[in-house]
Amino acid sequence: MDDDFHILIVDDEPNIRSGLAKGLAKEASRIDTAGTVNEALDQFDTGRYQLVIADVRLPGDRDGLELVSLVRGRQPGTTVIVITAHGTVETAVEAMRRGAFDFITKPVDLNLIRQQVAKAREHHHLQSENKQLRDKLAEIGEVSGIIGNCRALKDVLTQVRQVADTDATVLIQGESGTGKELIARAIHDLSDRSTGPFVAVNLGALPESLLESELFGHEKGAFTGASRQKPGCFEIARSGTLFLDEVTEIPAKSQVDLLRVLETAQFARVGGETLLESDARIVSATNRNIRQLVDDGTFREDLFYRLNIVPIDVPPLRQRRDDIPLLADHFLNHFCTRHRRPHKGIDADALQVLAAAGWPGNIRQLRNVIERLVVTVAGEMITTSDLPAELTQAASSTGSETGTLAEVTEAAERRAIQAALAAHDCHREQTATALGISVRTLHYKMNRYGLH
Ligand SMILES: Nc1ncnc2c1ncn2[C@@H]1O[C@H](COP(=O)(O)OP(=O)(O)OP(=O)(O)O)[C@@H](O)[C@H]1O
Ligand SMILES: [Mg+2]
């Protein structure tokens, strides 16, 4: 422990002051003394103390107990140990109640107090470490607009911070709507590439014929319609970050091309000969089980290893329910402001339903639900009856089915598709991806179950 540790000893007896100061000299980087509460307060004006050791009985109109309360107000991070006369348990209890860290009884045993000081010092050290970590996490949240307080998200943010100022390739995995793109942006914003571009390309949304040209650019006349030279994402993202979203959707042929670029950092525009360099930092994301795709042989293993240097897993919302009230409140304020509506609240029952819902569409679904409520609810309070059926139904209908296995399975499938459609505002591609099926299969099943 090499951080500053300043102790203030407050006692009216000069020989106790000097005895303690001498005895604790090795435990502190500085020791000051005071004879009264007022003298102690004067010291606070000029110095900052990590530990105050104070006798309870002090001359003047204020005693050591009052000092405990005053310290909490003036130097909130400071630990206080009080010294009480033998047998005055009530005083000790009162001191602890006011926030003292510990107490010792007179006559003072130097060995004992050394131990307690060491404990206080350890405590202080941990506290300041925690505080630094909290500050850093809060800073990441502020930079990137990531809301959340739960352990799981904090772990993700810690990884974000660790990886941000390296050039390591990151693969972000998580269900649809969990905030993968937000995380990717946070990595960029916190890196020293933040002054460079953040270029996002969705590999699931591009037809195969356009993919290569989108990634690598093309020369004039490279194909019909290529009326002029166009730079691709790898070129535009130089000295910045290239975000390859839905990376598993890249066709087999382009997987080879991508792998080569990642290995050599060189590429040529479509229809061009010249090799260009790109130092873009690669962050990719997927909501599918990429391991499974590798095992199935649809995604190249070597490409997977290239992309997966640092994996970051973003937890689904149902595994971080503690954050639901926080997120709901955040989106509520956001959309009330944005849609110029008076500010609203969510009543306790409704909040409970929100916190218990399944959220297959994760934070995106929550965000959409809240936006809808902001627009549709006229009153000041959102209540359970305002909530969409998709939330209340899912909670009440589990386990209530009877029938053949096929009937139960179909009912569950229908509900899952319905919920996913709602979560993605009926966006077919997103719904299919979220469900891990093709758009064709989705259409087929929607027809079958009469979902439109
Ligand atoms: N922790 C969070 N705090 C605030 N907003 C969030 C958080 N996580 C996600 N969001 C919001 O939820 C929405 C979905 O997030 P994002 O687009 O990053 O998800 P995704 O994981 O990329 O989803 P998909 O796999 O469907 O592309 C966005 O509007 C985003 O701003
Ligand atoms: Mg996304």
pLDDT in tens, 31-53: 999 999 999 999 888 888 999 99
Per-residue confidence (pLDDT) for residue 74, from 0 to 100: 80
The domain ranges of the chain are: 6-128, 147-313, 318-449
Atom of ligand 1 nearest to the CA of 245: 27
Q: Are 81 and 100 in contact (CB under 8 A)?
A: yes
The dihedral through the CA atoms of 116, 117, 122, 124 has a sign that is positive
The number of the ligand 1 atom at minimal distance from the alpha carbon of 424 is 26
Mutate-to-test residue for ligand 1 from 170, 314, 364, highest number of ligand atoms within 8 A of CB:
364
Q: How far apart are CA 134 and CA 158, in angstroms?
A: 10
Paired tokens of 26? 């090795």
Class at the top of the CATH hierarchy for domain 147-313: alpha beta
Q: Tell which residue, 186, 157, 148, 139, has the closest CA to residue 320.
A: 148
Ranges of H-type helices in 61-201: 64-74, 89-97, 110-144, 151-164, 180-189
- Ligand 1 in reach of 371 Cβ (< 6 A): no
pLDDT at res. 403: 63
Ligand 1 proximity of 367 Cβ (cutoff 6 Å) = yes
Q: Is 116 helix (H, G, I), strand (E, B) or coil?
A: helix
pLDDT at residue 130, as a whole number: 72
Please tell me if the domain spanning 6-128 has the same topology as the one spanning 318-449. no
Classify domain 318-449 at the CATH class level.
mainly alpha
Q: Residue 342 has what pLDDT?
A: 87
Residue 185 beta carbon below 6 angstroms from any ligand 1 atom: no
- Would the CB of 179 count as within 6 Å of ligand 1? yes
Fold of 6-128: Rossmann fold (3.40.50)
- C-beta of 148 in contact with ligand 1 (< 6 A): yes
Residue-level pLDDT at 151: 87
Give, as one character, the DSSP assignment of residue 451: -
pLDDT of residue 399: 43
- Looking at residue 415, what is its pLDDT? 84
Question: pLDDT at position 412, please?
Answer: 81
- Helices (DSSP H) in 322-388: which residue ranges? 324-338, 348-356, 362-376
Q: Does the beta carbon of 152 sit less than 6 angstroms from any atom of ligand 1? A: no
The pLDDT score that the predictor gives to residue 93 is 84
Enter the pTM of the model: 0.64
Query: Using CA atoms in the order 424, 428, 433, 437, what is the torsion angle rounded to 10 degrees?
Result: 130
Low-confidence ranges of the chain (pLDDT < 50): 1, 395-400
